[in-house]
């Protein structure tokens, strides 16, 4: 199966790779990318031979968060980020997902990767939760999953500061993920996938479900709170100005 900007390929028996490559939009959450990801994970769910997923991007981009049009639509109250759930596709996937972030992870794109069961970062890449740079509070479950995966202190810093952090800097800060040279990320992910795929599928599904059930149960309330914060912060005139200015660069 090949989507226009999302490829699905069984690279080895039981190991399926999902590659995001919306080169026009640099893997921001365009409609093409969102629909491609949703359809791809539906295909994965229907295939009973798959045991592990590798989710990755192209060149120096993993995923880059909201488009200018999408953010302005939220500013104008035309849509909400929870209208379509792309952020927790990896969490909701029955089988384990490896986020091979061989490229930059920006905003919601970084958060989407953190919902995976395994996370691999590149030393040279930028990772940021830059919601507040645009003047609105974080969404997509960022206020929960970032703290869950990185610890409260670092998560609070990333969310409030909204700065850019290279993988090498996050490695020095002690994040609990492998951080490798960009060109080594995919090879590491494939070897990890081989180790996972050796296990029985039903055992992988059963254990993952047990491990992530608390996250799946708590996330809906977090999303509701983030939507409420958006109602207070997203519609400021300054937010629109920031969106236009930052995308104009």
- Average confidence score pLDDT of the chain: 95
CB within 8 A of 160, min separation 6: which ones? 132
The domain spans of the chain are: 6-182
Q: What is the pLDDT of residue 248?
A: 82
Which residues are tagged catalytic?
A: 230
2 pLDDT more than 80? no
Q: What is the pLDDT of residue 4?
A: 84
What is the share, in percent, of the chain residues with pLDDT greater than 90? Answer: 93
Query: What would the pLDDT profile of 43-55 be if each residue is shown by its tens digit?
Result: 999 999 999 999 9
pTM score: 0.95
Return contacts of 134-137, CB within 8 angstroms, 24+ apart.
134/71, 134/239, 134/242, 134/243, 134/246, 135/233, 135/236, 135/238, 135/239, 135/242, 136/230, 136/233, 136/234, 136/236, 136/239, 137/226, 137/229, 137/230, 137/232, 137/233, 137/234
The domain over range 6-182 is classified in CATH as 3.90.226.10? yes
3 pLDDT more than 90? no
Q: With 0-12 CB in 10 A as exposed, 13-18 as middle and 19+ as buried, what is 147?
A: middle
Token digits of residue 244: 């236009």
Query: What would the pLDDT profile of 63-120 be if each residue is shown by its tens digit?
Result: 998 999 999 999 998 988 888 889 999 999 999 999 999 999 999 999 999 999 999 9
Residue 230 to residue 136: CA distance in whole angstroms: 7
Residue 9 to residue 88: CA distance in whole angstroms: 21
């Amino acid at each position: 199966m090949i989507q226009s900007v999302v490829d699905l390929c069984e690279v080895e028996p039981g190991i399926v790779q999902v590659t995001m490559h919306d080169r026009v939009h640099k893997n921001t959450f365009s409609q093409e990318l969102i629909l491609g990801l949703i359809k791809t994970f539906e295909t994965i769910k229907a295939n009973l031979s798959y045991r592990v997923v590798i989710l990755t991007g192209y060149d120096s981009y993993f995923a880059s968060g909201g488009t200018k049009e999408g953010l302005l639509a939220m500013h104008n109250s035309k849509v909400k980020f929870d209208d379509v759930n792309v952020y927790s596709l990896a969490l909701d996937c029955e089988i384990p997902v490896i986020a091979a972030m061989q490229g930059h992870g920006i905003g919601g794109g970084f958060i989407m990767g953190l919902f995976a069961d395994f996370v691999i970062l590149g030393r040279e890449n930028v990772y940021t939760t830059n919601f507040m740079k645009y003047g609105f509070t974080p969404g997509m479950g960022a206020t929960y999953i970032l703290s869950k995966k990185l610890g409260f202190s670092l998560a609070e810093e990333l969310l409030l500061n909204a700065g850019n952090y290279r993988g090498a800097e996050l490695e020095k800060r002690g994040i609990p993920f492998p951080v490798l040279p960009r060109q080594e990320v995919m090879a590491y992910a494939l070897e990890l996938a081989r180790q996972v795929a050796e296990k029985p599928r039903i055992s992988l599904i059963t254990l993952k479900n047990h491990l992530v059930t608390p996250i799946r149960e708590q996330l809906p309330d977090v999303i509701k709170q983030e939507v409420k914060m958006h109602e207070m912060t997203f519609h400021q005139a300054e937010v629109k100005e920031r969106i236009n200015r930052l995308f104009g660069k």
